[in-house]
Structure formats: C-alpha cells, structure tokens
C-alpha cells in the first residue's frame, strides 16, 4: 500500500506539493470515486487511479532504448547541460538513470531505466557483457592492432600501468582514417580513446552499437528513443539469469 500523493509524484504526475493540490481540488479518482485526501492509501498494482480523466498506471520499472546524440551528457540531472534523462519526455518514473556512461561527444545505444539490479549485472566486468562500438580513427589500423587489443593494452600514464581486458577488433576500413568495430567487456574512463591513444592513434568518432543482446534500433535517429520490446527485455534479463 502507498500514499496516493506519493504514488502520483512517483509516476511523474507532478511534484509532491502539486499532486496534493490536485487531490484536494477533486481532480483525482480511485476506482471511480473522487478522493480528496492526499494521504489516502492505495494498492498501486490493483487500484485504478485517474487524474483529470487520464489513467495513471503503475510502473515499477521502465526501460528505454535511446540513441544518444553528441553534445548530451550521461547523467540524471545537471544545472547547465542537457542530460540523457532530460530527453525521455514521456517517462513515468522520476528515478531513471543511464546504464553506464557515454562521453559527451559519443553517440549510440544507451539504456535508460530505474532497474538497479539489471544495471549492475550489465555493467559488472565479472558478467562479461559485450559492448560493441563503431570507431573512426586517425591512423592506419592493421593486424598488429588487432593482436595488441586481443592481448590487452596498457592505457596507464607514466610509470603507472593499467591493462585492459582482451578486446576484439574488426577492421572495416584501413587508411589514413580507419574504421573498425570494437568489442570490449569493460567500461574504464575514456577507455576506447585511451586504447587507440596507446597505439598512437586518435579517435575521431565513436558510436555504441550494442550491449549484450541489445542492439541499437537503426530506425532511431540521434536523440530519439523508445520503450524496449518484450523480446528485448526478455533477452536482456535472460542474459542476467537469477535476476527475477
């Protein structure tokens, strides 16, 4: 059981003070009856709650696929910058967060949810979840880099060593500017940029294509998003057996 005002605020109907005002003004009904007391207890999973005739359905968890555009930061809130959560306009939950971070200038697949258990399993290196990126770099990528990345790269600075786990590098185009598909199972700070920097190359463009079985919908333009399909959600949770 949950307080009515708390439920409405959690489902994004307004701030706690705003929804209290809605309730006291008779704008909210529970199971067909108008309710005027914010502290009224409701069963969030069974009761039917309407605000000004619009059904407010309970959502314990939300899962959105976002094609993150460049120029947006991977955070829940920021006073100066637009965040990835700001882009999710129809969200019900106020506790959404991005699963992992993409640099401000990086594009591509980002999962936005409030499911902390799932997020931990997807991000933990111990679960060996593949993260695949399209990368354009300044420099000629050869089989030598393929072997180096597969063996692990030292991305440390100075005398401090910091080795990456083995990564799979597929060369798509090799030249003054090269294009590759790179798969890693970690998420170290600026990892991909530092990996290429370690072999004398500069990343010009970076886009995440997939995370485990979750693949970026090619129909989503940068900045667009949608809810995960049932199959996608099943695929993600199947990869993390034991969660439910």
Strand residues in 97-174 grouped as ranges (E): 97-98, 107-113, 131-138, 168-173
Q: Of 47, 86, 103, 130, which one is the catalytic site residue?
A: 103
For the CA atoms of 123, 125, 130, 136, the dihedral, rounded to the nearest 10 degrees, stands at: 90
CA atoms within 13 A on the CB side of 33: 7
Q: Token pair of 209, please?
A: 């294509």
CA dihedral 117, 123, 129, 132 (to 10 degrees): 130
**Structure tokens, 233:** 């959600």
Residue 103 designated active-site: yes
Tell me which residues are annotated as active site: 103
């Amino acid at each position: 059981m949950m307080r009515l005002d708390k439920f409405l605020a959690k489902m994004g109907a307004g701030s706690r003070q705003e929804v209290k005002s809605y309730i006291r003004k008779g704008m909210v009904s529970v199971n067909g009856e108008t309710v005027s007391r914010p502290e009224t207890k409701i069963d969030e999973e069974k009761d039917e709650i309407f605000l000004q005739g619009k059904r407010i359905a309970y959502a314990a968890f939300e899962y959105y696929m976002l094609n993150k555009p460049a120029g947006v930061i991977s955070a829940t809130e920021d006073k100066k910058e637009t965040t990835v959560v700001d882009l999710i306009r129809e969200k019900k939950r106020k506790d959404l967060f991005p699963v992992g971070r993409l640099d401000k200038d990086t594009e591509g697949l980002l999962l936005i949810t409030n499911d902390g258990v799932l997020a931990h399993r997807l991000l933990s290196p111990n679960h060996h979840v593949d993260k695949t990126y399209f990368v354009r770099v300044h420099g000629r990528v050869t089989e030598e880099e393929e072997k180096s990345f597969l063996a692990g790269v030292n991305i440390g600075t100075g005398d401090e060593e910091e080795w990456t786990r083995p990564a799979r590098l597929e060369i798509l185009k090799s030249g003054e500017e090269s294009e590759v598909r790179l798969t890693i199972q970690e998420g170290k700070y600026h990892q991909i940029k530092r990996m290429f920097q370690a072999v004398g190359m500069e990343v010009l463009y970076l886009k995440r294509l997939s995370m485990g079985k979750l693949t970026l919908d090619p129909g989503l333009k940068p900045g667009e998003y949608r809810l995960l399909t049932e199959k996608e959600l099943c695929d993600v949770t199947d990869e993390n057996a034991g969660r439910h």
